[in-house]
Amino acid sequence: MKLRVLGCSGGIGGRYLRTTSFLVDHDILVDAGTGVGDLSLAELVLIDHVFVTHSHLDHVACIPFLVDTVGDMRNRPLTVHATEATLEILRNHLFNWSIWPDFSQIPNPDSPFLRYEPLRLGQTVEVGNRSFRALPARHTVPAVGYELDSGAGSLVFTGDTTTNDALWKVVNRISDLRYLIIETAFSNRQRRLAVASKHLCPSMLAGELAKLEHSPEIYVTHLKPGQIELTMQEIEEGIGEFKPRMLQNNMVFEF
């Protein structure tokens, strides 16, 4: 199983700042932020599944463009996996004919370009020999993280979340955990904003990692532009013993 980082920024503002999206092998996306736009047309056509953590625009912005661009080049619909609460938001506020056409009805309801597949917290979805399990997340909208399991090893992506005891109870039972990708959106000087928006800052990250009972490689994602250096400095000074590294575009994880 191979995961390639297409985007991992908390915003835009330069050629290397793309919002959250990961390409798994050649056919699956985990979130579909602006990083998807850097894929070639040939790569876009191959994507069959999108696993969505939550409905915020920086995680779903490219789903409408993806399905619009390659829908008529494919012989099957693009499947969007998410909780029912997230799918309801996408149906009502994105694919609603006002913001974007409803591609679950185009070209016709019996053979659409887009289909929705609801999943439940804790549910595992098998795609070939790859497993995707929805993990607990706490954010301002309904949200999940994901465990990606190849059978030989696992990667956990927290999605957007704040302090979350329920997550660690699950993660600590993953015996073959190799990689942990965890968000830290704000610096400590903006802790109040992190709390209000249900994100993490370095001091909060320290408290969360103290609950971790394994020793995976740890990567920090969703850093806000303009605060990247400060936030990573605070992480190094405050929780350097965990050796968290900054996630960057085009990193590849094999597990």
Could you tell me the pLDDT band of residue 160, with boundaries at 50, 70 and 90? very high
Q: Residue range 124-130: average pLDDT?
A: 97
Q: If you search the block for the tokens 């920090």, which residue do you land on? A: 220
CA-atom Rg of the chain in angstroms: 18
The predicted structure's pLDDT at residue 240? 87
The predicted structure's pLDDT at residue 40? 98
Tell me how far apart the alpha carbons of residues 24 and 12 are, in angstroms, rounded to a whole number: 23
* CATH of the domain spanning 2-254, picked from 3.30.460.80, 3.60.15.10, 3.40.30.10, 3.40.50.720: 3.60.15.10
Helix, strand, coil percent values for the chain (each to nearest 5): 30, 25, 45
Q: Residue range 144-169: average pLDDT?
A: 98
pLDDT, tens digit, for every residue of 75-94?
999 999 999 999 999 999 99
The predicted structure's pLDDT at residue 138? 98
Q: Average pLDDT over the chain, rounded to whole? A: 97
pLDDT more than 70, % of the chain: 100
E runs forming strands in 72-163: 78-82, 114-118, 124-127, 130-136, 144-149, 154-157
Could you tell me the pLDDT band of residue 199, with boundaries at 50, 70 and 90? very high
The predicted structure's pLDDT at residue 15? 82
Tell me how far apart the alpha carbons of residues 148 and 130 are, in angstroms, rounded to a whole number: 7
Q: Residue range 112-137: average pLDDT?
A: 98
C-beta of residue 36 within 8 angstroms of C-beta of residue 22: no
The predicted structure's pLDDT at residue 148? 98
| Among 171, 226, 168, 237, CA closest to 202 | 237
Residue 184 has pLDDT above 90, yes or no: yes
Tokens of 193: 């904003």
pLDDT, tens digit, for every residue of 20-32?
999 999 999 999 9
Tell me how far apart the alpha carbons of residues 246 and 235 are, in angstroms, rounded to a whole number: 10
- What does pTM read for this prediction? 0.97
Could you tell me the pLDDT band of residue 14, with boundaries at 50, 70 and 90? confident
